[in-house]
Structure 1
Amino acid sequence: MAGIGFELRKLLRKQTYSGLLQAYAFAGIISSGPWVLSIIGIMLIGLLSVGVVSPKVAISQFQVTVTYLFLISLISTGLVQLSFTRFVADRTFAKDEASILPNFNGLILLAMGLSMILALPCVAFLFPEQTVLYRLLFVMGLGVMSAIWIATVFLTGMKHYRAIVLIFFLGYSATLVLALLFRSTLGMEGLLLGFVLGHYLLLMGMIWLIYRNYHSDRFIAFDIWKPGAMYHSLMVAGLLFNLGAWVDKLMFWYFPSTGQQVIGPLNASVIYDFPIFLSYLSVIPGMAIFLVRIETDFVEYYVKFYDAVREGATLDFIERMRNHMVYHVQRGLFDIAKIQTIAVLITFALGGVLLESLGISTLYLPLLYVDVVGAALQVVLLGILNILFYLDQRRSVVLLTAMLPITNIVFTAISLQLGAAWFGYGFAMAMLVTVLTGIWILNRKLEVLEYETFMLQ
C-alpha cells in the first residue's frame, strides 16, 4: 500500500530544494488526510463566521456537532479500516484486484447504511429542541464521514498524488465556501449544511479516483465477511486505537467541572478542546516523514527481505536485506521523533503568538505545550504500529492498542483529580507509556526476525 510513497521519491531524486519541498508538502497533506485538514477548515469557518452568525453560541454548536461526527464515525469505522486495508493488500498480492472494488462498494454501503439507520432514532429522541434540518444533516454527515474514512484506505496505495491533493483542495475549498454561503440565511444549520455538502463532494472525488485505479465486472460484493477474509485482531486493534485517542476528550467533556452542554446531549470542554485540536496541526511534518520514510524506505527493503526468503537467496544476502530494513526502521522513527521535536520547540517559541492571533487566552499555553508533546508521541506510535503491521505482529498491535485506552483513562482520571495544572498530562503520559512499550516490543521482534520468518515458512 506504499505506492504513493514511491512516486514521491521521484521528486526527491531531483536533488533540488523545490523537489524536496514538493515531496514533503504532498506527503504532509496526503498523510494528514481528512482529519487534520478538517480541523483547519472547521477553525476557519468558525473564525470567519464571528459577527455574522447569531447568536455566537451557534458557531460553537456547529463545531461541537462536527467534532462528534468525527468521533462517532472514526470509532465505528475503526472496526473495519485496518482489516479492510489488509484485505486490499492481500488481494493485491494475490493479483486479484478485481475483487477489491465490489467489496469496497459493499463496505461503503454497509457502513453508511448502518450509521444512518442507527443515527436516525438517536437524533429523533436526543435532539428534541433542534430543527428537522439539523437532525437530517447530522445523520447525513455521519454517513458521509464514515464513507470517507473507508475511502482513505486507498490513498497511500495510489500513485496519483497530485490528483489526491487536488481533490482535497477542491473538497475543503467547497466546504469553506458553502458553509460561508449558507451561514447568513440558515445560521448554524447553514454552516453544517456547507460542511456536509463539501465533504460529500470530497467523498465523490475520492470514489472517482478509486474507480480510475480499480476495475471489476462485479459492482458489489461482501466477500470481506467470509470466514478468514477479515482479521478479527485488526478489527479490535482499529477500534481500540481510535477509542484510545479520543477517550480523554470524552472524559473532559462529561466531567462536571470541565465540561458543559452545548447542543442536545453533546458536551464540550472549553478549557481542553482548543489546545488539543491546535496541537494536532503540529503533526503534519511528522506525518510527511512517516509516509516518505516508513512507507517507502522501510517498505523497499521489507519487500526485498521477504522476496529473498521466498526465492531461496543466500544467507548473506538475506542478512544484508534484514540489516537494511532494521536501519530504515530506526532511521524512520528517529526522523519522525526529530521533526516532531522541532515542531514542539516551534510551538513552545510561538505558541503565545498563535493563541493571541486566534483570540485565545495565553492561559491555555501550558496545556497546549503538553498536548503538542502528546500529539508528537502519537505520530511515533503510528510509525511503530505500521511497522508491526508489516511484520504481521497482530498480537503485539492488539496489546499496544489495548494499552492506549486503558492508560489514557487511568492517567486522565488522575489529572482530572489533581486539577487544572495537570490537564493534558493524562493524554501525553498514555502516549509515552505506549510508545516506550512499542519500541521495546519492536526491538525484540527485529532481533529474532530471521528465526521467526523461517519458522513460519
Structure 2
Amino acid sequence: MAGIGFQLRKILVKDTYSSTLRAYLYAGMISSGPWALSIISVMIIGLLSLGYLIPSQEVGQFLVSVTYLMASSLIFTGGLQLFFTRYTSDRLFENQPQVILPNLLGILLLITLAASVFGFFILALFFGNTSIHYKIVMFSNFIVLCNLWIVIIFLSGMKAYNRILLTMLIGYSLMIAASFILSRWKIYGLLTSLLIGHAVLLFLFLAEILRSHPSQKLIAFDFLKRKKIFLSLIATGFLYNLGIWVDKFIFWFNPATSHEVIGPLRSSLVYDLPIFLAYLSIIPGMAVFLVKIETDFAEWYEKLFKAVRDGGTLSYIEQARDEMTLAVRQGLFSICKIQGVTIILLLLFAPAILDWLTISRYHLPLFYIDVVGVSIQVVFMALLNVFFYLDKRLIALKLCFLFVLLNTGLTILSHILGPTFFGYGFTLSLFICVLVGLYQLSRTLDQLIYHTFMLRKG
C-alpha cells in the first residue's frame, strides 16, 4: 500500500480543506470504489430493467446470479489476494519493481486455469437444469472477476488516480449502457453486460499496470518459490472472505428463510436487501481507515523499524513506538467516529431511503443491525491491517478463524431463536472479534520492542 501512502501524505502536507477532502476522496475511491460502484451499477440495472425491459422474475435471477458470482470469486481468490499483496510489497521493499509485472501475469494465468477447472465442475455438477447460454455467461463472469480482484491490488500503488476514476466510470457506465442494448436477451443479456463492464475494467487496469511497472520479461512464477509463500496469509485471506459470506450462505440454504431462484441458487428476501444496502454505508469509514493507516501510522511504523535497522537509540525507538501506538488509537477512534455519525444519519433517514427504493419498511430492524455490523467490520479490517504491518500473521489468522466460527454458530443460533434475532449473529461475531483483536493489539504493542529484538518469528 506504499504507493497511496506517499501520495496521500503529499496531498495532506498542504493542510487545507480542499487538500484534505481530496485525500479522503482518493482513499475512498481506492478502498471501496470498485465494489461500491459494482453494487450501485447492478442495483441501477435491476431497478431500471424491472417492469420496463425484463420481467421481474428474470431481474431477480440476474441479481442473485451476480451475488453468487461476487461471493464465490472473492472466496476463491481471497487467499491469493493477500498472499500476492505481500509478495508485491516485499519486492518493492527490495527495490525489485521489474519482477512484479511478469509475476502478476503468472498468477493471473494460474488463477484463470484454476478458476476454469473449478467453474467447469461446479456448473457440470449443480447446474444441469440450466441452459448452456446461462452456463457460458456465468463461467465467463467468474473467470473475469477472479482476475479482477487480483489486479485491483495494484490500484493503491498507482499514482494516476484521475485515470483510475475515469476507468471505473467508463467500465460501469458501459455496463449500464450494455444492459439496455442487450436486454432483449433477458437474463443472458444482463449477465453479458456485467461481463463486458468488468472485462473492460480488467484490461484497462492491466494496461495501467503495464505503464507503471515496465518489465522486459513477459511471465514469471517466482511467487511460487517456497521461501516466498506464506501459507498463513493464504489461509487468512480465505477465512476472512468466508467469514464475510458464511451468514449469507446459511440464510440462502435454510428452506425457512429462502427460496429457489435459478438452478441451485437460492436467495433470502428477508436478509439480502438489508445487508447489501448496509454495505454501502462503510464507504466513509473505509476512506478514513485508508488515510489514517497509510499516513500517520505507516509513517511512524517506517521510522520505528528504520531506527531498529540502522541502530537508533533505545529512547528514540521507544518514542517512535509510542507515536505509532498513538497513531493506531487515533486512527481507530476516527473510524469509530465517522461510522458512528453514519449510523446516526442512517437511523434517521433509513425509512425515507427504503421508501425511495420501494423496499418494505419490514426490513428496517434488520437494516439497522446490519449497518452496525458492517461499521464494526471496518474496525476489524483496520485491526487486521495493523497486524499485517507488524507481521503478526498468526494473530490475524486466529482472528479470522474465530470470525468464521462465531458468525456460523451465532447465525445458526439466530435461526433457532427466530426472526427477531436475524442479523445479530453477523454483528455480534464481529464485535467479539474486534474486542479480542483490540486486546491482542494492546499486548503486541506493549511487547513490540522486546519481540523485535529478541524473537525472529511472531
**What do residues 369-395 of structure 1 show as CA deviations (whole Å, max 9, x unaligned)?**
000010001100000000000000011
Distance 1:51 1:193 in 2: 20
Moved more, 205-214 or 48-57: 48-57
Letter in 2 for 1:410: G
Letter in 2 for 1:217: Q
Distance 1:350 1:11 in 2: 33
Residue equivalent to 1:362: 361
Distance 1:122 1:400 in 2: 30
Is the Cα contact below 8 Å between 1:4 and 1:160 reproduced in 2?
A: no
Q: CA deviation at 1:284?
A: 0.2
Distance 2:88 2:408 in 1: 33
Say whether residues 1:290 and 2:308 are aligned partners.
no
Say whether residues 1:261 and 2:260 are aligned partners.
yes
1:13-32 matched pairs, under 5 angstroms: 13-32=13-32
1:81-160 matched pairs, under 5 angstroms: 81-160=81-160
Is the Cα contact below 8 Å between 2:5 and 2:298 reproduced in 1?
A: no
Distance 1:5 1:352 in 2: 38
Letter in 1 for 2:81: Q
Distance 2:112 2:407 in 1: 30
**What do residues 413-451 of structure 1 show as CA deviations (whole Å, max 9, x unaligned)?**
111111111100000001001011000000100001111
What is the SS of the residue equivalent to 1:95?
A: coil
Distance 1:230 1:205 in 2: 29
Residue equivalent to 2:308: 309
What is the SS of the residue equivalent to 1:228?
A: helix
Distance 2:90 2:437 in 1: 25
Distance 1:379 1:125 in 2: 37
Say whether residues 1:248 and 2:251 are aligned partners.
no
Is the Cα contact below 8 Å between 1:237 and 1:397 reproduced in 2?
A: yes
Distance 2:24 2:113 in 1: 37
Letter in 2 for 1:397: A
TM-score, length basis structure 1: 0.97
Say whether residues 1:336 and 2:339 are aligned partners.
no
Distance 2:321 2:121 in 1: 54
Is the Cα contact below 8 Å between 2:387 and 2:441 reproduced in 1?
A: yes
Is the Cα contact below 8 Å between 1:298 and 1:325 reproduced in 2?
A: yes
What is the SS of the residue equivalent to 1:220?
A: coil
What is the SS of the residue equivalent to 2:226?
A: coil
Is the Cα contact below 8 Å between 2:8 and 2:295 reproduced in 1?
A: no
Residue equivalent to 1:274: 273
Q: CA deviation at 1:163?
A: 2.0
Distance 1:341 1:171 in 2: 32
TM-score, length basis structure 2: 0.97
Count of residue pairs brought into register by the alignment:
456
Moved more, 37-46 or 399-408: 37-46
What is the SS of the residue equivalent to 1:270?
A: coil
What is the SS of the residue equivalent to 1:9?
A: helix
Q: CA deviation at 1:38?
A: 1.1
Distance 2:437 2:167 in 1: 35
Letter in 2 for 1:266: L
Is the Cα contact below 8 Å between 2:103 and 2:222 reproduced in 1?
A: yes
Distance 1:259 1:324 in 2: 50
Q: CA deviation at 1:305?
A: 0.5
Letter in 2 for 1:382: M
Distance 1:23 1:179 in 2: 33
